[in-house]
Chains A and B, each alone.
Chain A
Amino acid sequence: MTDLLEIRDLKIEATSYPPGEKPRDVTLVEGVTLKLPKGRVMGLIGESGAGKSTIGLSTLAYGRGGVRITGGQVVLNGQDILALSPGALRRLRGKTVTYVAQSAAASFNPAKKLIDQVIETTLAAGTPRAEARARAVELFRKLSLPSPETIGERFPHQVSGGQLQRVMTAMALCPKPELVIFDEPTTALDVTTQIDVLAAIKAAIRDEGVAALYITHDLAVVAQIADEIMVLRHGKMVELGDTGQIITAPRETYTRDLVSVRQIEHPPKPDGAAPVLTIDAVSARYGRSGPQVLSDVSAVLPQGQTLAVVGESGSGKSTLARVITGLLPPLQGRITFAGRDLSPTMAGRSREDLRELQMIYQMADTAMNPRQTVATIIGRPLEFYFGLKGAEKKARVDALLDEIELGPKFADRFPAELSGGQKQRVCIARALAAKPKMIICDEVTSALDPLVADGILKLLLDLQREEGVAYLFITHDIATVRAIADRIMVMHRGRVVRSGPKAEVLSPPFDAYTDLLLSSVPEMKQGWLEEVTASRRMAAGGE
């Protein structure tokens, strides 16, 4: 069988503009070679900056913002597409090769109906409108979208995120392409939605017989869909092999790290410690007449332990954090912290209350003032709460920098000069500087690469052991929960569905929602997707 796509020794460069230095050329991708036969799916996996998307876009002979393909060949159907004229490229893009982007919500034109956007390139290729429409409806049906005949008449904001991602897949498949690039199509979705989208994409790829490049950072996801997997790091290929071989018998150390990620052993601490935080029947809503976001939520967090709050987007996890911090006064209910009643509003709390209850945010980028140095960021709580000044303050900042495994040389840097993981570490140091009894961690690892996130989780566990601080850990990621929690609280639509010690919550019998949530987490084995969808279909048929 001849190969549909062959990439030979690809080299991609871009010009970078480091602050205070001369612009210089950096190599993003080097020496990448791959072959993809018709109808096969290859997974490209790696951390951010590994060059996954850049390689994906090169099969469209396209480089994003100043990115240049400077070497190698991209051969599609025996033709080097890098040498094509702009006109020929235009006929290739959106017809022979199509692309599915990560954020469907940002990629659709909000002012046009879905169907018009789905069949746009098909029409441009000369297909009559009625035929293109019929094809789109067929694809909607294949992707198990509700009411396939009429869903195209809606606007992007009228369908859910998971549906929109499937509509985009239909858009990519509509012109009968030979190659489809999927660029993290399920990353922005909740796990329970992700599984449906994955199953739909997989079925559609199989039925249409197209070849696909599937780009993701989640090895468990790509294992469900790809025939082969290429592991990338810093723009170079680390390992290429069959999916089975990669996940069961990885050859390279880096691949092994990726496979074994999130397997931190964390035996839960014994019950019986006095509670540091008690939430009693709290309800809350935004504005005077908004819908109720929290209804009757109660929870207990023992001293020095971790309570993981799990749920999908919209379940009220972050609202709970806002209520605890006093940013959003609750409608009713009581919060007790370190043995005293907490005032419902921030203004009513003492400086001690504020000091002992710290917070770490999801986006470390926006959680630090870009105009302040690391020393100022960490030093301010020291000065503010403890009145430390001069050498004393500097010594403490250096000690904190050591604690977060960065070291004093980072003190003079600005946030822009730090990597994602380093930024989150500085935020941890800022919270620690206040010597808190409890830290609210709001999705602190979800914006980070798996290996970096692992480092952060380990650091948090170490710090808990040394400082005896309690964490309220908000996350949507079950693997993170397993790694860090002592107690778990599952939330769904503003209510507590299930709560208790880790072992109890994670073992059967489950309630319906927890079961759905737990079974939707991709497992690192082939065929998992089929197993789950089959068992769900059986369960649905049995009812």
Chain B
Amino acid sequence: MSRIPLSALIGLILTAAYFLAAIFASVIAPYGMAEVAGGVWEPMSSAHWLGTDSIGRDLLSRMIYGGQVTIFVATAATIVAFVTGALLGFVAAVSGGWVDQVLSRLVDLFMSIPALILALVILSVMPVTLPVLIAVMGLIESTRVFRLARAVAVDIAVMDYVEAARLRGEGLVWVIFREILPNALSPLVAEAGLRFIFMVLFISTLSFLGLGVQPPLADWGGIVKENKDGIVYGVPAALLPAVAIATLAISVNLVADWILNRTTSLKGGRG
């Protein structure tokens, strides 16, 4: 940990700030989530640092709570995507044969449908609650993780040490978790950073389209939607959550990039 490059440091600080704000939202937010604290679209002032929104709620408080929802949903969905995608990908790579064929073709099938349309169709017939949202987003994205995990694991599964483990009589669980996973971790960690960003964009898009997080809860995408009409009158309330989405995306990427650099060397990395 001797030298952290400047880009990674910036990313790390911003990411940490967003996550801390999300965790301690109820402590640091000056007003309540749904509390009407002023007039409609008031400009920035000392009472309302970022102004107020379309029905007079404090925008800063809403952004902080919205960040909490966004980050929670994105994180949970990323975990779902990785657990299912990586596990199935490893199983496909290690088992080969018809198991691999069935799983891979199934994933191809899902990937041939645009993710957003698939999500909209599913969500339009399901009750839109947070667990359902997380599951739908996680499972759709898990097809991408499956592809990567399988590709990485196929390369590892043909190594002599995996063959040696099989000749020893080891089961699938040992081969996957002890032989393959430790060697597949670094590309997966880097991918996790990217997938998290896609999740943030995904949930924001869904909320903007009205099929994501439902009122009175709101995430950043939802806040953009509520305030989008203000742009016509020169009110910046819709742009601020958009900026938050963009900066979070960039900073997580910077961190993921650095982690990838650090872990690519099998000798434990340097620097």
Contacts and interface: CB of A to CB of B under 8 A. Distances in A.
A361 B164 contact: yes
A354 interface: yes
Contacts of B178: 369, 372
A22 to B, nearest CB: 9
A236 B183 CA distance: 38
B159 to A, nearest CB: 5
A17 B169 contact: no
Contacts of B179: 369
Contacts of B35: none
Contacts of A361: 160, 164
B170 A384 contact: yes
A371 B183 CA distance: 7
B169 A327 contact: no
Contacts of A368: 161
A366 B159 CA distance: 6
A141 interface: no
Interface stretch (B79-87, B190-198, B224-232, B262-270): B262-270
Interface string A299-329: 0000000000000000000000000010100
Contact of B164 (A346, A351, A367, A370): A367
A366 B161 CA distance: 6
A349 to B, nearest CB: 8
B169 A325 contact: no
B167 interface: yes
B168 interface: yes
Given A363-B160, A366-B159, A368-B161, A19 B270 contact: yes
Given A20-B268, A371-B182, A359 B161 contact: no
Classify chain B: how many residues form its interface, as a range. Answer: 10 to 19
A359 B168 CA distance: 9
Contacts of A244: none
Interface string B147-180: 0000000000001110110111110000000110
B270 A367 contact: no
A504 to B, nearest CB: 33
A134 interface: no
Contact of B160 (A17, A351, A366, A381): A366
A505 B163 CA distance: 33
B95 to A, nearest CB: 12
A416 interface: yes
A349 B268 CA distance: 38
A495 interface: no
B168 A384 contact: yes
Nearest to A21: B270
Nearest to A376: B178
B267 A19 contact: yes
A416 B268 CA distance: 10
A370 B183 contact: yes
B160 A367 contact: yes
Contacts of B164: 359, 361, 367, 430
B167 A346 contact: yes
B167 A325 contact: yes
A380 interface: yes
A534 B198 CA distance: 72
A380 B161 contact: no
Contacts of A354: 167-169
Contacts of B182: 369, 371-372
Nearest to A381: B168
A380 B170 CA distance: 10
16 contacts: A17-B270, A19-B267, A20-B268, A354-B167, A354-B168, A355-B169, A359-B164, A359-B167, A361-B160, A368-B161, A370-B266, A371-B182, A381-B168, A384-B168, A416-B266, A430-B164
